[in-house]
Amino acid sequence: MALLAFVTLSASAQQKGETFLTEKELRTLMSQTLTVDFFGYNRRGTGVYQKDGTVRLNSTNWTAVGSWKIEGNKLCTNYTEVGSGCNKLQKTGANSYKLIPDDGSTPGTWEVKKGK
């Protein structure tokens, strides 16, 4: 099960003409430590994506620790607790993104709180 980057591209999303971050844009976004509020997979919480490729998600009564990497135009994660998966990111606002999972599951969202 993929988790937002959460932790992705569905055919229906592609048909609607939605555009996703390119590999270059993903590399720029992830070149800093990001703190994000996330919602996805029926969870809401905070995620910290480190420049070294590690990630920690914290939610009420739940934590997931793992790693992230960029594969082409996808952000891929691997969590000990829930497994691995990839997402395409779509910018939806100044600091917000929609994450579209490869596995066809419900999209998640990010609100970037800070980057260093």
pTM value > 0.85:
no
What is the pLDDT at residue 43?
A: 81
User: Pairing relation of β-strands 43-49 and 83-91?
Assistant: unpaired
In this predicted model, what pLDDT tens digit does every residue of 30-48 receive, in sequence order? Answer: 999 999 999 987 789 999 9
To the nearest whole percent, how much of the chain has pLDDT over 90?
65
What the chain holds in terms of domains, given with CATH numbers, is 11-115 (2.40.128.640)
- Tell me the C-alpha to C-alpha distance, in Å, between residue 4 and each of 12, 55, 67, 98: 19, 11, 11, 10
What mean pLDDT comes out for the span 73-99? 94
Give the pLDDT score at 3: 44
The predicted pLDDT at position 16 comes to: 55
Which sign does the torsion angle of CA 28, 51, 38, 2 carry?
A: positive
Contact 91, 97 (CB under 8 A): yes
State the first-to-last Cα distance of the chain, in angstroms, to the nearest integer.
29
Average pLDDT, whole number, for the chain?
Answer: 85
